[in-house]
Amino acid sequence: MRAVKLTTLIGFSAQLFLLNPSSAADYPARPIKLLVGASAGGTTDTMARTIAEPLSNSFGQPVLVENRPGAGGNLAAEAVARSNPDGYTLLVSFTSHTINATLYPKLPFDPVADFTPIAMISTVPSLLVGNPKVPAQNLRELIALAKAKPDALTIAIGGIGSSLHLAGDRFKMMADISIVNVPYKGTAPALTDVLGGQVDLMFISLVTGTPHVRAGNLRAYGVTSAARQPSFPDLPAIGEIVPGFESEAWFGVFGPAKLPDQIVDKLNRAVVSALKDPRMREQLLREGANPAALTPGEFATFVRQDIERWAPVVRNSGQSPSKRVPQSLFKLFIRFYAKPAPPHACQRDDRERSL
C-alpha cells in the first residue's frame, strides 16, 4: 500500500516539475513544433517559416513547421489547445482565430481562455480594387454609385468567412451601401473574374493586388490600413472616406493555456528580436506585411479586442460554417448567369486559400 502511495506521489511530483516555471530555465531542450492551420504556400505558412529560421538560430534547436489545414484553422488550434503547456507545441495563427470566435457557435476550445498569446508577427493590409470598366473613378464615386443603385454592383469573395470577405461586409455596413457578394473557392478564381469583368470589385491583399493595379488591369479605390501605404501614397485609406474603417489581416504565435511566463518571455524576445533584424523586416515588407512587435500582454489585449471588432461584422454578414452561399447570390445567377468556381478549385476550407 505504501509502495502504491509512493509511486503516485512520485508521478504527481514529476508532473508538477514539468509544469513548474522553474523547469523553464533550460527551455528549449529539444525541437519546437509550429502548427499552422492553413495549407503550405499561403501567407500564414509563409509567416511561420519566416520566423522559424531565426527562432532556431536563437535557441540552437530545430523549429519545425507542420501544416494542419481544415475548419478555418480550428484543427491546428485545437491540437495546440490540448497540448502540454511546455512550449514545444505552438500555433501560428491568423485573423480567423478571432473571427471564428463568432463564426463557429460551438468551438472545441475557447479562443481566449485556452491559449497563451506570445507574439504578433505582422499585419497585412488589403486593397479594395475594381475592374476598370466600373464607372466610378474613386472611392467617393463608388459609394455614391452603390447608394444610387443598390445591388447593382458585385464583389467577389475569395473565401466565405475570410478576413477579406468580412472586410467587404464591414465596408458595406459602415458605408451603408448594398453590394452583392459572389463567393469563390479561393482568391485566384475570384481575381480572374474581376479581371475579366464578370464581377466588379474585390478586396485583395496588398502584395497580390499591387502588380495588377500598376499594370492598369485593376483600379484601386482604397487601402484597408489606418494610414496610407508608402507603395501607394496617393491612394487614400478607406477610413479617410468611411470614418472608423480599418481592416488588416494579422499573424501571431500562441501557446496553450498556462504556458509558464519564463517560456513566454523567451519566445517573445526571440520573435521581437527577429522582427527587428533588417533582413527579416525587408523580407516581410516584400511580402506586403508590416512587422508588428507586441509584448505578450499587448497581444492578449489585441486578441480580445479583435474578437469584439469582428463579432458584429460576422453577425451582420449572416454567415456560419453550414451556410456557405448567401441567398442573395441566387438573384445574381438569374441576372448575370454567374458561373460557379472552377471544378478544379481546391475543396479545402475556403479561408485557407485566402490566407
Q: Identify the top-confidence range among 41-50, 256-265, 336-345.
A: 256-265
Least confident of 14-28, 72-86, 115-129, 276-290: 14-28
Report how far residue 85's alpha carbon sits from residue 42's, in angstroms, rounded to the nearest whole number: 27
Q: Are 129 and 220 in contact (CB under 8 A)?
A: yes
Place of cell 519566445: 267
Task: List beta partners, residue 203.
Answer: 128
pLDDT band of 285, cuts 50, 70, 90: confident
Task: List beta partners, residue 181.
Answer: 155
Report how far residue 339's alpha carbon sits from residue 326's, in angstroms, rounded to the nearest whole number: 15
Cβ neighbourhood burial of 287 (10 Å; 0-12, 13-18, 19+): middle
Question: pLDDT digit string (tens) for 125-164?
Answer: 999 999 999 999 999 999 999 999 999 999 998 777 778 8
Please report the pLDDT score of residue 9 as a whole number. Answer: 45
Q: What value, to the nearest 5°, has the Cα angle with vertex 136 and ends 128 and 203?
A: 10
Place of cell 460554417: 321
Predicted structure pTM score: 0.72
pLDDT band of 10, cuts 50, 70, 90: very low
